[in-house]
Chains A and B, each alone.
Chain A
Amino acid sequence: MIPLQNFLVLSALLFGIGFYGVLARRSAILILISVEIMLAAVAINFIAFATYRDPKAFSGLVFALFVIAVAAAEVGLALGIVLRLFRERRTANVDEASSLKW
């Protein structure tokens, strides 16, 4: 059987990569992709703990399902905002969208 630590280390590496992407990238879509990677890391952690520590209560699995649903909602809404920003400003660069109202 694969030890739990393997899954936790994989999830930590994935979360670090996603965090780097969120901080380093400037295109809004690429930031969205990095956020997806971070959410996947969190879901791996939830499911690993649910399978190894808490097999009867299913809490981790249910929360992983909610993470997936919230990620889908977040992508839809964020892409709507990015499209609106692009139409108003002709850019998808988050550094140029620093004012709240224009």
Chain B
Amino acid sequence: MFARLPLPSQFDRIIITGGLVGVMVMGPILIALVTLYMMSRITGGEVVFYLASVVVLGGAIAAVSLSNLVHSALSLIATLMGVAAIYLMLLSEFLALVQILVYGGGVIILVIFGLMLTNAQDDPVVLDGSQKPFAFGVGAMICGLFVAAALLAQWGPLEANLVPFPDFGKRLFGDYGLPIIIVAFLLDIAFTGALVNARRAEHAGSKEAAK
């Protein structure tokens, strides 16, 4: 079936392997969550939240631990789309759409372009440094600190409120107009800088030759 599709075979294997791993990981979790839901221990919203969390955390762990650079970048897509689902669970649909547009459309493409342009075949790519255990310790420590702080703090009365989208727009371009302009300048400067930096330097070569 896959031979008829206009896909390179490497990509087929990535899709099949990723799909199988995803089904094998998500299947038992889905069954457990649905069972809990049937026994009315958790609500439907919590089922969706836990599924999205599994996607987010699984994608993040794969992105920082896989040895293939392209697989890491593809796992990042799962993480960022899961984060968009988390935004939807937080009742802010506008930011979920922005997340999908900016990350799914722009950032991922840029990262994969960067990988393709810098992944030298003759060079052995050094993936992980020698400070891996140290890094694991520091990451676990920070994570434990934040989790303890979140669980031990006394929050006041908590309830999620739906943010009305027109009010958000008025507020964003009214009270936060100056920061918006500053961010626009920042984006402009950043992309100009990226262009200047990544351009092939013709003048530099001639200067070196003149010296």
- Interface residues, chain A, CB within 8 Å of chain B? 1-30, 32-34, 36-37, 40, 43-44, 47-48, 50-53, 55, 58, 61-62, 64-66, 68-77, 79-84, 86-87, 90-93, 95
Contact = CB atoms under 8 A, between A and B. Distances in A.
A52 B110 contact: no
A25 B53 CA distance: 24
16 contacts: A5-B151, A12-B147, A20-B139, A21-B63, A26-B128, A26-B129, A29-B69, A30-B72, A51-B92, A62-B179, A68-B98, A77-B193, A79-B113, A83-B198, A90-B123, A93-B126
A47 to B, nearest CB: 5
A66 B179 contact: yes
A92 to B, nearest CB: 4
Given A1-B45, A7-B90, A77-B190, A34 B150 contact: no
Contact of A29 (B64, B98, B111): B111
B158 interface: yes
A62 B178 CA distance: 12
Q: From DSSP, what is the main secondary structure of chain A's interface residues?
A: helix
Interface of B: 43, 45-46, 49, 53, 56-57, 60-61, 63-64, 69, 72-73, 76, 79-80, 83, 86-87, 89-92, 94-95, 98-99, 102-103, 106-107, 110-111, 113-115, 117-120, 123, 125-129, 131-132, 134-136, 138-140, 142-144, 146-147, 150-151, 155-156, 158-163, 167-168, 171-172, 176, 179, 183, 186-187, 190-191, 193-198, 200
A65 B172 CA distance: 10
A26 B128 CA distance: 5
A37 B60 CA distance: 7
A92 B167 CA distance: 45
Given A2-B46, A90-B120, A52 B176 contact: no
Contacts of B120: 86, 90-91
A35 B55 CA distance: 18
Contact of B76 (A7, A25, A36, A69): A36
